[in-house]
Structures are given as structure tokens and as C-alpha cells.
């Protein structure tokens, strides 16, 4: 579609607004002006906050607007240079980080035992279900905003803003912490066990902020320059690093199978204290282990933010997103099996399972250095993918009008969101320079799981409600009942006492039966309002419902401080929205640069042809 024609039609639309509405939006002057032009203008805007919230908070943008006029605010288009193999490489790089070397040991030692192999398979299935939901949106709406854009066209501006704000905050904090861990793993690779030897201690600063890590800062700034220069070249660099990292992992897997003993899969080191068998703690242990290792799959969602830069979204995105999840699941299961063969599960070091297993073996201690090198490469690839994703989230948030438009600009020479990339890179580097952020890493767990939950709900809502407001209330009722059923199941799993025998199993069976009945009744009684043109989630509504259920269950496995921090950051984001974003968005709407979704078809311009 011709963008000039869109702008022209927008001007006509704006000129036919009632004069009193325009005057109200501009402080009574009758001419368009910003709510932030002066303190007096801002005061008038704050006085109108309730009315503006009612108008903007639940205003959903039409898919066509998101793909044409909203996208045009970035100026130059991002280069469509990625294919499915680039997406698979980015997915692998984003998921297979250093965390898997620790998470596997903790899950095996504390919960699942050798059954951690099954835990990884279950977690991989959960990730694949969520990946299907992301894929439907990414194919139908190939823009850089990821979950922010998906929720904006479904549930409106406020839900999208809160989600996007939490995602960016979690990306920044986790990237800063992961960059600092690069120093430790690099030290292991070259034989320096204490990362403090590579950090500068500033005694004048308080504990937790007094270890200056210049290595972490250098890594973040180097990756920032790379992703600002070119997305395609960043993908090539990621592909090379990921290939070497996967080769390291395959080497470790091979060493585990070669030096391992199959009897360790069923025999504990101390039978008097630890139960034996492949599932020493039963199904409960396996599912609790799945909840723990699921965090190792976080990262594929960043691939969906690359949709605007994919040559053939309908073909490449399903293969890239789902393919990366399947490959990672196979690698993780093989890693878990090899580790379980190296040592009995009750002898595994939960903090360093692989390196600890090899250090205790004659002529194999050098393998721990190889693990350090592989983990260092994993950190680089996961950082690159995460920083690519966070910049595109911020770029699209800037396009939407709820953050400064400067962040949305795409450099015409590099075809990348340079402003957003540089801003977040510098901010992340500043945090990584001083701050120990291990505790804040839990934030990425709860925030990402919450986003997965929201996207799965959004897929169901969009299919059954569509743009015309079809079965809105039956769909919302179903989503509420099903989520409550999943929550009841999770609470029963976590809190119901094991005695008297059978009570806990009965509660779980009742909650599961209610959830299944709700899905079956919804499928039979409510017709779909729209069918995806190019690619859709199979088994609607069962697949997204299963994703909702599993994400609620996994959210229930997180600790209380995670929820407290999530609530604090959400409240801070809500305050920013009320004090700034809703007014900026309202100004954009009233100036004719932002249209509210009136339900409508999908509009595509010539730069966004989907094949």
C-alpha cells in the first residue's frame, strides 16, 4: 500500500474530527500541540488522565496499521536478509547458553535424578507449544515487536506496554548479569578459577557494587557495535559461534558416554540415603525438574522479534522457531543422559555438574577447561540474540507512541535500529560494570513465563473474537475459567498434603477434569471468528490451552521474592504509563498519526509482502 496515500487518508480523517475533541486534546486551543510542550500543558493533560486512559488503555491497533503506518515511523525499513537457517542459528544461540551446564545438575540432584532426561523432554514440549503460538503471530504480523505487537493488536495498549516494559527490564538486567558471568567462565577456560582476579575492587563502594568488571563491559559494547552494524552479519557471527559451541557440547556429550557407566542411571552412590531407580522421586520429581530446566529454553521468543527482517515469513519462521526448539531439546536430553551416566545422581555437584564430574577422573581434568570455553561461547551467542531482541522490542515500543519516537528510528545505511541498540547497550554496560545481579536473574524467569502465558491467551482470543468483536465475552469467560483451573491444579500440586492418601490425587484429577471440560465445551459451542491466511497453530484451542496450563504450572514453581520484584517493576511501569505514555499516545492519536483498531482486515504495504 502507498504510504503517501495512507498519510493523505490520515489527514482527511483528522480534519473531520469534531472541533471540540481536537480542542480538548490540545488544551483548548484548537491546534495540535504536545501534552509536554510546557508545564501548563502537562498539567492540563494530567487533569484529563482518566478520560485518556479510558480511550487509550484498551485501544487495540489494527494489524494493517501495525505493519504499514506504525512501521513507517521508523523511517527506513529493516533489511529483509534472514532465512530459516539464520533463525535456527539465532534460536540455538539464544537458548543454549551457559546456564544449561548448571541447571542440569541442580534438576538431577534435587528433583528428578536420572529422570532429568524426561524432564528436558517435557520442558521441550512445553516450549514447542509456546513456540507455535509465537509462530502464528509472527507469520501473520511480521514486525519487529514480538510479544509487544501481538498483545497490542489483541488486548490493547496497556497490556502491551506493561509486557514490553517488563521484557526490556528483564533483558537488560539478565544480560548485564550474564556478561559478568562471562568473566568467570573465561577464567575457567584459561585456568583462572577466581573471577575476582580479573575485576577491580573499589573499596569506597558498597558490597555488591564494588567489583568493577571491564571484561563484561567490553563484551557488551563489542556486541552492541556488531548488532548496530548489520543484522545479517550479526547472524553470521552468531552462526559461527553457535556452531563452535554446539561442537563443544557434542564433544562433552561424547566424553560423557565414553567414560560413563549405564549402571549410574539406576544406582545411587549412597543407597542408604538416596532412593534408587531411573525415577527416584517419581512423577513429582520429574515435573519439578521440568519446571527448573524449562528456563534453559528461554530465548526462542527473541527470534520472533526478527520477523520484520525475514525474507519469507510464512515459510522461514515456522521452520526457524520450531526447528530450533526441537534441535535444542535433543541436545539437552543427550547432555542430561551423558551427565547421568558419568556420576550417580546423588554424587553430582549441583553448581558445576560437568566440570566436577571430569575433575574427579584421572586424565580427564582438562575437560573442565573445555567446558569453560564452551560456556564462554554460549554466553556470547545468548547475549547477541538477547541484545538483538531487546533492541527490536524498544524500537517498536517507540513506534507505538508510548515512548520517545527517537528510539524507533532505523538507520538507512545499516537498516538496523541503531538508536535503540546503542541506548540499551550503554545502559546494560553501565549495570554490568558495577553491579552483581545474580538475584535479579530470577526476574527473567517470571517475566518471560508471564509473556508466554499472555501470548497463548492472545492466540485464542484473536482466533475466536477476530477484529469484529465476535464471541468476546464467551472467549474471555473461557480463558478466565481455564486459567483458574490451571491455577487450582498448581496450588494443589504445591500445597495439598500427601496424607491422607488419595486426597491430593483426587484434587489434581478434579482440576484437570475441569480444565479439559472447559476446553471441550468451548470448542463445541464457540466457532472461530477468523482463520489464519498463511500458518496457524494446529489443534486449536487445545494446543494454546495446553501452553496456558503449563505456563501457569511453571509460574507456580517460582519463589515469592520473584513475584514481589515482578509486582514492583510492573507498578513502576504502570506509573510511567499513567504519567507519560498514555499522554504521548493520546497526542499521537489526536495528531492523526495513530489510528485505533476498528476491527478490520489485514493491510500490507509493498515492503511487507508475505510469501
| Burial of 193 from C-beta contacts in 10 A (0-12 / 13-18 / 19+) | exposed
| Residues of the chain above pLDDT 90, percent | 8
User: What average pLDDT does the segment 541-558 reach?
Assistant: 87
* The residue to which cell 543407597 is assigned: 271
| Burial of 596 from C-beta contacts in 10 A (0-12 / 13-18 / 19+) | middle
Query: Cα 168 to the chain's mean position, in Å?
Result: 10
Where residue 487 falls among pLDDT bands split at 50, 70, 90? very high
CA distances 583 to 31, 36, 312, 480, 597, Å, are 16, 9, 37, 31, 18
Grid coordinates of 37: 510542550
User: Per-residue pLDDT for 516 more than 90?
Assistant: yes
Where residue 489 falls among pLDDT bands split at 50, 70, 90? very high
User: Per-residue pLDDT for 92 more than 80?
Assistant: yes
Entry pTM: 0.78
Strand partners, 75: 410
CB contact set of 484 (below 8 Å; sequence gap of 6+): none
Check residue 436 and give its pLDDT.
60
Query: Cα 358 to the chain's mean position, in Å?
Result: 33
Check residue 542 and give its pLDDT.
92
| Residues of the chain above pLDDT 70, percent | 78
Q: Which range, of 30-44, 301-315, 533-547, averages the lowest pLDDT?
A: 30-44
Cα-based torsion angle of the residue sequence 553, 557, 560, 565 in order, rounded to the nearest 10 degrees: -70
Where residue 545 falls among pLDDT bands split at 50, 70, 90? very high
Check residue 390 and give its pLDDT.
81
User: Per-residue pLDDT for 108 more than 60?
Assistant: yes
User: Per-residue pLDDT for 15 more than 90?
Assistant: no
* The residue to which cell 534435587 is assigned: 110
Where residue 451 falls among pLDDT bands split at 50, 70, 90? confident
Strand duo 211-212 + 200-201: pairing: antiparallel
User: What average pLDDT does the segment 300-325 reach?
Assistant: 82
Chain mean pLDDT for the chain = 77
Determine contact, residues 490/552, Cβ cutoff 8 Å.
yes
User: Per-residue pLDDT for 510 more than 50?
Assistant: yes
User: Per-residue pLDDT for 309 more than 80?
Assistant: no
Where residue 546 falls among pLDDT bands split at 50, 70, 90? very high
What is the tens place of the pLDDT at every residue in 365-401? 677 677 777 777 777 887 888 888 888 888 888 888 8
Grid coordinates of 350: 549441583
Which domains are assigned to the chain? 55-77+84-530+539-588 (1.20.1740.10)
Determine contact, residues 73/608, Cβ cutoff 8 Å.
no
Is pLDDT larger for residue 152 or for residue 234?
Answer: 152
Coil, helix or strand at residue 201: strand
Check residue 166 and give its pLDDT.
80
Where residue 106 falls among pLDDT bands split at 50, 70, 90? confident
Separation between Cα atoms, residue 320 and residue 300, nearest integer Å: 9
User: Per-residue pLDDT for 515 more than 70?
Assistant: yes
Tally the residues of the chain. Answer: 611
Check residue 365 and give its pLDDT.
63
User: What average pLDDT does the segment 512-516 reach?
Assistant: 93
Q: Which range, of 321-330, 426-435, 518-527, averages the lowest pLDDT?
A: 426-435
Check residue 335 and give its pLDDT.
86
User: What average pLDDT does the segment 339-359 reach?
Assistant: 75
Check residue 27 and give its pLDDT.
36
User: What average pLDDT does the segment 12-16 reach?
Assistant: 38
User: Per-residue pLDDT for 208 more than 60?
Assistant: no
Grid coordinates of 347: 554424587
Q: Which range, of 35-39, 196-200, 482-486, averages the lowest pLDDT?
A: 196-200
Separation between Cα atoms, residue 266 and residue 345, nearest integer Å: 9
Determine contact, residues 173/443, Cβ cutoff 8 Å.
yes
Is pLDDT larger for residue 23 or for residue 548?
Answer: 548
* The residue to which cell 480463558 is assigned: 479
User: Per-residue pLDDT for 476 more than 60?
Assistant: yes
User: Per-residue pLDDT for 69 more than 70?
Assistant: no
Check residue 607 and give its pLDDT.
37
Grid coordinates of 593: 498519526
Is pLDDT larger for residue 393 or for residue 515?
Answer: 515
Where residue 605 falls among pLDDT bands split at 50, 70, 90? very low
Grid coordinates of 464: 475466536
DSSP secondary structure letters along 35-78? TTSSHHHHHHHHHTHHHHHHHHTTPPPPHHHHHTHHHHTTBSPP
Strand partners, 410: 75
Determine contact, residues 162/581, Cβ cutoff 8 Å.
no
User: What average pLDDT does the segment 436-441 reach?
Assistant: 51
User: What average pLDDT does the segment 520-533 reach?
Assistant: 88
How many Cα atoms occupy the beta-carbon half-sphere of 49 within 13 Å?
A: 12
Amino acid at each position: 500500500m502507498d504510504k503517501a496515500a495512507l498519510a493523505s487518508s490520515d489527514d482527511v480523517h483528522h480534519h473531520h474530527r469534531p472541533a471540540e475533541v481536537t480542542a480538548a486534546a490540545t488544551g483548548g486551543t484548537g491546534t495540535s500541540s504536545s501534552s509536554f510542550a510546557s508545564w501548563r500543558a502537562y498539567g492540563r493533560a494530567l487533569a484529563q488522565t482518566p478520560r485518556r486512559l479510558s480511550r487509550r488503555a484498551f485501544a487495540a491497533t489494527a494489524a494493517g496499521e501495525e505493519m504499514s503506518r506504525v512501521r513507517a515511523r521508523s523511517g527506513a525499513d529493516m533489511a529483509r536478509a534472514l532465512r530459516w537457517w539464520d533463525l535456527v542459528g539465532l534460536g540455538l544461540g539464544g537458548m543454549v547458553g551457559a546456564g544449561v551446564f548448571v541447571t542440569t545438575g541442580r534438576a538431577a540432584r534435587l528433583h528428578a535424578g536420572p529422570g532429568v532426561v524426561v524432564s528436558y523432554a517435557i520442558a521441550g514440549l512445553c516450549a514447542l507449544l509456546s513456540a507455535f503460538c509465537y509462530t502464528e503471530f509472527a507469520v501473520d504480523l511480521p514486525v519487529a515487536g514480538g510479544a509487544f505487537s501481538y498483545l497490542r493488536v489483541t488486548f490493547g495498549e496497556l497490556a502491551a506496554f506493561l509486557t514490553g516494559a517488563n521484557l526490556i527490564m528483564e533483558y537488560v538486567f539478565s544480560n548485564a548479569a550474564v556478561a559478568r558471568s562471562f568473566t568467570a567462565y573465561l577464567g575457567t577456560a584459561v585456568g583462572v578459577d577466581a573471577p575476582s582476579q580479573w575485576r577491580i575492587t573499589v573499596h569506597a563502594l558498597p558490597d555488591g557494587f564494588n567489583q568493577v568488571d571491564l571484561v563484561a563491559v567490553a563484551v557488551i559494547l563489542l556486541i552492541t557495535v556488531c548488532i548496530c552494524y548489520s543484522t545479517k552479519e550479526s547472524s553470521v557471527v552468531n552462526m559461527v559461534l553457535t556452531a563452535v559451541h554446539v561442537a563443544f557440547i557434542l564433544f562433552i556429550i561424547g566424553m560423557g558416554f565414553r567414560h560413563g557407566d549405564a549402571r549410574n542411571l539406576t544406582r545411587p552412590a549412597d543407597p542408604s540415603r538416596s532412593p534408587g531407580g531411573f525415577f527416584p522421586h517419581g512423577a513429582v520429581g520429574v515435573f519439578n525438574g521440568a519446571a527448573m530446566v524449562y528456563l534453559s529454553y528461554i530465548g526462542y521468543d527473541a527470534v520472533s522479534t526478527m520477523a520484520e527482517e525475514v525474507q519469507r515469513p510464512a515459510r522461514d519462521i515456522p521452520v526457524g522457531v520450531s526447528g530450533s526448539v526441537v534441535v535444542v531439546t535433543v541436545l539437552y536430553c543427550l547432555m542430561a543422559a551423558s551427565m547421568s551416566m558419568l556420576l550417580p545422581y546423588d554424587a553430582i555437584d549441583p553448581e558445576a555438574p560437568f566440570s566436577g564430574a571430569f575433575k574427579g577422573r584421572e586424565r580427564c581434568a582438562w575437560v573442565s577447561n573445555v567446558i569453560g570455553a564452551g560456556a564462554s561461547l554460549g554466553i556470547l551467542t545468548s547475549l547477541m540474540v538477547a541484545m538483538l531482541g531487546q533492541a527490536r522490542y524498544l524500537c517498536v515500543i517507540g513506534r507505538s507512541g508510548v515512548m520517545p519516537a527517537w528510539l524507533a528510528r532505523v538507520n538507512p545505511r545499516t537498516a538496523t535500529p541503531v538508536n535503540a541498540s546503542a541506548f540499551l547497550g550503554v545502559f546494560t554496560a553501565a549495570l554490568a560494570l558495577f553491579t552483581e545481579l545474580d538475584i535479579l536473574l530470577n526476574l527473567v524467569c517470571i517475566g518471560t513465563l508471564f509473556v508466554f502465558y499472555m501470548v497463548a491467551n492472545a492466540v485464542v482470543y484473536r482466533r475466536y473474537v477476530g477484529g469484529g468483536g465476535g464471541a468476546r465475552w464467551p472467549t474471555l469467560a473461557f480463558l478466565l475459567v481455564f486459567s483458574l483451573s490451571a491455577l487450582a491444579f498448581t496450588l494443589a500440586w504445591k500445597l495439598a498434603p500427601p496424607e491422607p492418601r488419595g486426597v491430593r490425587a483426587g484434587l489434581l484429577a478434579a482440576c484437570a477434569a475441569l480444565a479439559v471440560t472447559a476446553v471441550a465445551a468451548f470448542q463445541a459451542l464457540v466457532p472461530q471468528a477468523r482463520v489464519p491466511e498463511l500458518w496457524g497453530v494446529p489443534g486449536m484451542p487445545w494446543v494454546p490451552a495446553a501452553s496456558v496450563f503449563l505456563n501457569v504450572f511453571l509460574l507456580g514453581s517460582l519463589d515469592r521474592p520473584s513475584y514481589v520484584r515482578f509486582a514492583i517493576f510492573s507498578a513502576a511501569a504502570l506509573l510511567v504509563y499513567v504519567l507519560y505514555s498514555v499522554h504521548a499516545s493520546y497526542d499521537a492519536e489526536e495528531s492523526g498519526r495513530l489510528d485505533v483498531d476498528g476491527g478490520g482486515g489485514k493491510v500490507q504495504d509493498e515492503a511487507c509482502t508475505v510469501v
